[in-house]
Amino acid sequence: MFGVIDPGSASGIATNQVLHSEWAMPSSLKPGKETLRTQVGIIGGGPSGLLLSQILHRVGIETVVLERRSRAYVLGRIRAGVLEQGMVDLLQEAGVSGGMDRNGDPHEGIRIAYDGRRHRIDLKGLTGKTVMLYGQTELTRDLYEARDAMGGVILHEVENVAIHGISDDTPALTWCAGGESYRLECEFIIGCDGFHGVSRRSIPPEGLREYERVYPFGWLGVLSRTRPVNDELIYANHPRGFALCSMRSPALSRYYVQCSLDDRVKDWPDERFWGELKARLPEEVAARLETGPSIEKSIAPLRSFVVEPLRHGRLFLAGDAAHIVPPTGAKGLNLAASDIRYLSSALIAYYRHGSDAGLERYSEQALARVWKAERFSWWMTGLLHRFPETGEFGDRMQRAELDYLFSSTAAMTSLAENYVGLPY
């Protein structure tokens, strides 16, 4: 249980007004002159941290976001593209849906290519729901713009962030920037700093349990200024390996191929990438694939990972800091959103009504959804990739699973209801 803090008197200085969004500490607040305080200290300026800070700020709860990288670096990362309806709703409620409402592309189905044929999963027909194609990069830019418009505090290029006092109710963050050291006293600390962040590592090992599976392959992703090969996403199972055709706009395509963990981006000049992608797609699709120079190319390893619980004292974990899914089911970003939905509601109930029931429940509530998405992402990864170690028996099991899927409305409905997102 936490001691209840009066929302009205909760924090000393109004940090939202005194700190600039890109790194620039006003001289009146140089270290040693004044103690910095806020209500919720957030580590990580990715989608989880920005969305949480946006939702809390809109109801008057102060936040400070600490981000290790520059804004340009964060916005240069190309990642997810498929948003569930639950996330779309949350973005609308948080007042950050303008870009998505204008430029997002609702999709009613996906295709699974196998044995030279394409099978359609009718998401809308089977579940009544759709998904929204809208890039994480664009969404992150929208979030930064919304935070700036409200005077939100996001400090970039902070180094050596350290967490203090989470077990004894004196939470604080320290960091270095521009050659100076800083300390920020908080009421809660939220770790939104991704898989490699400092938050999870700050919890004593006896305070958490980790579950992990590392897959024996990665995804090579390419962004190109070419027209998408199809109006719906194509997930392809092919003897040469998995491939995915996705998109960002009518003129911007996103493609992925399964690759070896030993591969480096320099091993994949554009010609090799396009040749390999074509080889893994049904002929009629390959024939109309528009190719062109890549404008981004990166390799991501595939991993399933969950830490339990998502809380240690006054530190809470959310998004990739707490769990990773292989990207096959397009669930990583969406899980970050459901964590933030639960956690923001719990923090708002705490500050508005002095109730810590939601904070007490957060870990269990979020993990129940996380594990279901972990299961789906693991299953879809198994369905569509070449696994070096499973041999011919594994191949036949995969064939049987795909044959069953395409012949059973029940099986297709199960895929569809997970793909569009389980309820929050």
Query: Which residues carry out catalysis?
Result: 107, 235, 327, 331, 419
Q: What residue ranges bind ligand FAD (CB under 6 A)?
A: 43-49, 66-69, 74, 79-80, 136, 158, 161, 192-194, 196-198, 300, 319-320, 327, 330-333, 336
Residue 132 touches which member of ligand FAD, ligand DHB, none, C-beta under 5-8 Å by kind: none
Q: How far apart are CA 194 and CA 74, in angstroms?
A: 12
Q: How far apart are CA 232 and CA 272, in angstroms?
A: 24
Instruction: Give the pair of three-digit tokens for residue 2.
Output: 């936490």
Residue 107 touches which member of ligand DHB, ligand FAD, none, C-beta under 5-8 Å by kind: none
Residue-by-residue DSSP string for 153-218: EEE-S-EEEEEE-TTTT--EEEEEETTEEEEEE-SEEEE-S-TTSSTGGGS-GGG-EEEEEEEEEE
Closest distance to ligand FAD from the beta carbon of 305 (Å): 11
What CA–CA distances, in Å, run from 115 to 112, 233, 283, 415? 10, 17, 11, 19
Q: How far apart are CA 276 and CA 404, in angstroms?
A: 28
Residue-level length of the chain: 424
Closest distance to ligand DHB from the beta carbon of 246 (Å): 3
Q: Rank residues 7 and 106 by Cβ distance to ligand FAD and give the closer one.
A: 106
Question: What b-and-e string marks burial along 171-208, b requiring 16 or more CB atoms within 10 Å of the CB?
Answer: bbbebebeeeebebbbbbbbbbbbeebbbbebbeeeeb
Closest distance to ligand FAD from the beta carbon of 111 (Å): 17
Q: Rank residues 109 and 319 by Cβ distance to ligand FAD and give the closer one.
A: 319
Residue 254 touches which member of ligand DHB, ligand FAD, none, C-beta under 5-8 Å by kind: ligand DHB
Amino acid identity of 161? V
Q: Rank residues 96 and 244 by Cβ distance to ligand DHB and give the closer one.
A: 244
Closest distance to ligand DHB from the beta carbon of 190 (Å): 25
Closest distance to ligand FAD from the beta carbon of 219 (Å): 7
Q: Rank residues 187 and 339 by Cβ distance to ligand FAD and give the closer one.
A: 339
Q: Is the peptide bond before 309 cis (omega within 30 degrees of 0)?
A: yes
Q: Rank residues 47 and 99 by Cβ distance to ligand FAD and give the closer one.
A: 47
Closest distance to ligand FAD from the beta carbon of 162 (Å): 9
How many C-alpha atoms does 25 have within 13 Å on its Cβ side? Answer: 24
Closest distance to ligand FAD from the beta carbon of 158 (Å): 6
- At how many degrees (to 10) do helices 85-93 and 47-58 cross? 40
Closest distance to ligand DHB from the beta carbon of 424 (Å): 20
Q: Rank residues 202 and 398 by Cβ distance to ligand DHB and give the closer one.
A: 398
Residue 264 touches which member of ligand DHB, ligand FAD, none, C-beta under 5-8 Å by kind: none
Contacts of 80 (CB under 8 A, 6+ apart): 135, 136, 327, 330, 332, 333
Residue 369 touches which member of ligand DHB, ligand FAD, none, C-beta under 5-8 Å by kind: none
DSSP structural state of residue 38: -
Contacts of 151 (CB under 8 A, 6+ apart): 16, 17, 21
- 3-state SS assignment for residue 64: strand
* R_g of the chain computed on alpha carbons: 22
Q: How far apart are CA 149 and CA 76, in angstroms?
A: 21
Residue 228 touches which member of ligand FAD, ligand DHB, none, C-beta under 5-8 Å by kind: none
Q: 316 and 362 in contact (C-beta within 8 Å)? A: yes
Q: How far apart are CA 310 and CA 321, in angstroms?
A: 9
Q: What residue ranges bind ligand DHB (CB under 6 A)?
A: 80-82, 233, 244, 246, 254, 327-328, 330
Q: Rank residues 189 and 234 by Cβ distance to ligand DHB and give the closer one.
A: 234
Residue 201 touches which member of ligand DHB, ligand FAD, none, C-beta under 5-8 Å by kind: none
Please identify the residue of the shown chain whose CB is closest to the bound ligand DHB.
Answer: 81
Q: Rank residues 82 and 336 by Cβ distance to ligand DHB and give the closer one.
A: 82
Q: CA nearest 328: which of 276, 373, 395, 297?
A: 373
